Structure 1
């Protein structure tokens, strides 16, 4: 079962905020009045250890104390609200769960996703409320794939709306123009032989790899209006738009822009050697 953290966060923020607000408007004034009345009844309430102070404290606890739920809501709401704003509209952390973006991103990389680059969206419902920029070829983008509408995926933008994307002999072409590619090295793997290359989409170079031992999966496709064609940089080990189709604009989450930590597993030591921007 997938945990819908954005929905849980929204419920916690609005729940705690509502409890705090209703208490401040309806119940807190009455508690203050009761405390004022008790101070008049026990004039020496401020003298620590006095009979009046002990009686006053006991009466406050029994008749004018702030309920625990209100106390927790008042304490946690500001923190939850800041997390909500940061995560929903500014930047969100994301962990790389698979090898589909190797060599650009490795399993265990922790990255940051810019949530406002492609426009501001309401959390949970994903409705865009402010238009800003559009995705560009070569962007590394986080999104909800068409076949799993509750799970984040991360791939590279290959085709924009209206583009014709072709893949022949493991080389990309966009709108009939071959994508500039420079072969760098051949690396052996477990049952694989990876050709590592520098590819340039939209004028920005990035690393990609293809397994020379696997047959090419040639295709040609026209990107639908309002959709994006996504592919992993690990071209022969990626479930992407070749498998589950094009990504509609409404399912965009944000642009991945930086690696801030690498952590292989719970029992390993986090590393910061891969910290840097994502190309």
Structure 2
């Protein structure tokens, strides 16, 4: 089921639309009828002020008619085209930072209704390397954002901070699959980002056709005892079931992702993150008089497409 805000928008659209229809079909004709009866009673024209008072729309009708077109447009746009999201944590650094505001393309994957999230139109499936928003499998009212690493049928291993993928073979496919391959990493820099007091290494990772940056914290050990345990696999090995996807955060040592809770059902997919339309910077100075949620700057250089 959708989040509370999506349900609220749909209910508000329906309520304002129904009030508008009720007025057009029932209430407005009754007001006109009252005006005709009043004019007949005095055998003439009523004063302009009295006529306007008799046919005046109730406040709730006037409000519904004014907001319905706007709310309906927002609901349609947000439900089926693009939905704005704010990045709340650092799990997708350096690709996405806290304070980034992004657009998620809803029609990149299956198009779903905005309340019950039943598929209305089957579209594309996620590609390896997509930055996807989905309903958190352990709490479906919460939206998560991670990078799609494993497709249905893939075997994924994350061992000693290195990613390995054995791609599933499609029907009659004989090359480019079935072999466990290491995902290429190229060191970019170290010390640009920190996790607590530990410096992080920034790598460029080549995931299929997608080249993107990730962060690793060499001083942090893998918490394999907390990893999702799949039957008949090693603790750091994941075989993606049909109709599911395996997702990781780009900030590999600071992300609660598929390593900890398993796989993303296709029905949970919301859309593909495609664009950063605003990015605010916040102060991390504990002595600052400004509340932590008040922006102290705009990172214009971050605006643009998401890779």
**Same fold by TM-score greater than 0.5:** yes
Contact kept, 8 Å, 1:228 with 1:249, in 2: the verdict is yes
Alignment of 1:186 onto 2:219: no
1:137 match: secondary structure = coil
Cα distance in 2 for residues equivalent to 1:70 and 1:237: 51
Alignment of 1:149 onto 2:177: no
Cα distance in 2 for residues equivalent to 1:168 and 1:70: 62
Cα distance in 1 for residues equivalent to 2:69 and 2:96: 34
Cα distance in 2 for residues equivalent to 1:107 and 1:267: 11
Structure 1 spans left out of the alignment, 5+ residues: 46-51
1:103 is displaced (CA, Å) by 0.5
Give the match for residue 296 of structure 2. Answer: 268
1:19 match: secondary structure = helix
Give the match for residue 305 of structure 2. Answer: 277
1:266 is displaced (CA, Å) by 2.6
Give the match for residue 48 of structure 1. Answer: none
Give the match for residue 112 of structure 1. Answer: 103
Give the match for residue 231 of structure 2. Answer: none
Give the match for residue 53 of structure 1. Answer: 48
Cα distance in 1 for residues equivalent to 2:67 and 2:298: 29
Q: How does 1:123-162 map to 2 (within 5 A)?
A: 123-162=114-153
Alignment of 1:230 onto 2:257: no
2:35 match: secondary structure = helix
- The CA RMSD over aligned residues, in Å, is 2.0
Moved over 6 A (4+): none
Cα distance in 2 for residues equivalent to 1:134 and 1:166: 22
2:48 match: secondary structure = helix
Structure 2 spans left out of the alignment, 5+ residues: 167-179, 225-234, 283-292
Give the match for residue 253 of structure 1. Answer: 270
Alignment of 1:97 onto 2:92: no
Contact kept, 8 Å, 1:138 with 1:204, in 2: the verdict is yes
Cα distance in 2 for residues equivalent to 1:42 and 1:102: 77
How many matched pairs? 268
| Deviation by residue 1:118-163 (Cα, 9 ceiling, x = unmatched) | 0210012111110110001100000011111101110000101110
Alignment of 1:81 onto 2:109: no
Contact kept, 8 Å, 1:101 with 1:233, in 2: the verdict is yes
Query: Larger deviation: 242-251 or 230-239?
Result: 242-251
1:270 is displaced (CA, Å) by 3.6
TM-score with structure 2 setting the length? 0.82
